[in-house]
Amino acid sequence: MAVNLDKPNHWKADIAQSVDMYNDWFMNFAPQAFRTTRIQTTQDVEAALHYTENMINIQPVIMRNHPEILSTLRMSTCPPLAVDRLIGLAGISVNLVKCMERDKRLPPHMPDADIERDLSKIGTIIEKMADPDIFVWLGRDEPPKDTEIHRAATIIADRLCGAVANPIIRNAQEKRQLAIIKVWLEERQYRQIHSSNSIRFSTMPAGTFSFRMNVPVKLERGSKSINIPIDTVIMPKDAKEGDIPIFFEAKSAGDFTNTNKRRKEEAMKMAQLHSTYGKEVQFNLFLCGYFDSGYLGYEAAEGIDWVWEHRIDDLALFGI
């Protein structure tokens, strides 16, 4: 039975309420989430400055021992360097840079000579382009003062956080959404199963739920399987042996543009779940923020239903 996808006459009012709810959260809590991340990032930048002797010693051996400092080095130049710009400017391996940025390590199968060559190129670029307005001690005889180092670290941390502001806010919002779902379920005597307990979604006991659980699905022609992460997996209290739990994705958005870019992701997950487990699988959304009629209409056409956070009690209408 459809809960919200078949009620377009309610969408406009729900969209307005959802936008108001998101904006209220953003004004009151998003700055704190950003500040918390910035404090930790500042500490990471200060560590990077320590390793490089405050940007005076950017040798390959430093980056070998501390590959995690590359993002700090990129933000230390004038102008700051995006990943692809650094790769093109230095003429270095894409794999090296991506491993250092994403995995905080060097690529395990890259020859040492190639690593040494590319790290040396990175050091040359950073030293040449280091921002003198941030590192005011470069080129002078006296060492930097503690206040100058901390000020520089704060500026670079702001650059780093500014580059990933949307993911920071989105992650904080997702944690909040899952916490709200958890409270709602536990108030109705549902029990949480942690995904680390190695319980498969298909063997969850009735009246349980789990967050960020991997669900295996088959790709085209069924020759290969992959795991797709599902934010919330709920096995209803009246479920029988062999039943598939109900799946929910927690989605939030601070503007209408990004939601329309991301809407195909849910449709892909729905298609993969249906092709693997049948058309009875329930894959739904838990929404807060800027989701307009275009987005909702697209998801409804794909058979994807949703619950608005401001009407969380609609979860009960899914048989939960």
Q: What is the pLDDT of residue 221?
A: 66
Residues 86, 97 contacting (CB under 8 angstroms): yes
Inside any domain, residue 2: no
Q: What is the 3-state secondary structure (H, E, C) of the chain?
A: CCCCCCCHHHHHHHHHHHHHHHHHHHHHHHHHHHHHHHHHHHHHHHHHHHHCCCCCCCCHHHHHHCHHHHHHHHCCECCCCCHHHHHHHHCCCHHHHHHHHHHCCCCCCCCHHHHHHHHHHHHHHHHHHECCCCCCCCCCCCCCCHHHHHHHHHHHHHHHHHHCHHHHHHHHHHHHHHHHHHHHHHHCCCEECCHHHCCCHHHCCCCEEEEEEEEEEECHHHCCEEEEEEEEEEECCCCCCCCCCEEEEEEEECCHHHHHHHHHHHHHHHHHHHHHHCCCCCEEEEEEECCCHHHHHHHHHCCCEEEEHHHHHHHHHHCC
CATH code assigned at 209: 3.40.1350
> What is the token pair recorded at 231?
């934010």
Within a domain: 232: yes
Query: Is the domain of 212 the same as that of 256?
Result: yes
Tell me the residue range of the domain where 158 lies: 34-165
Residues 253 and 180 in one domain: yes
Instruction: Report if residue 3 sits inside a domain.
Output: no
pLDDT digits (tens, 9 = 90+) for 194-207: 876 677 888 899 99
Q: What stretches in the chain show pLDDT beneath 50?
A: none
Regarding whether 264 and 143 lie in a shared domain, the answer is no
pLDDT score recorded for residue 87:
95
My answer on whether 210 and 256 are in the same domain is yes
- Please give the pLDDT value at position 224: 82
Query: Is there a single domain that holds both residue 189 and residue 149?
Result: no
Which pLDDT does position 40 carry in this prediction?
86
What does the pLDDT read at residue 246? 96
- Residue 20 falls inside a structural domain: yes
Please answer whether residues 293 and 11 qualify as being in contact, where contact means their C-beta atoms are separated by less than 8 angstroms.
Answer: yes
User: Residue 203 domain-assigned?
Assistant: yes
131 with 215, same domain: the answer is no
Domain count, the chain: 2
Q: Tell me if 1 is assigned to some domain.
A: no
- pLDDT (0 to 100) of residue 261: 67
Question: In the prediction, which pLDDT does 268 show?
Answer: 87
Residue 222 is predicted with a pLDDT of: 63
35: Cβ contacts below 8 Å, ≥ 6 apart: none
Q: What is the pLDDT of residue 51?
A: 96
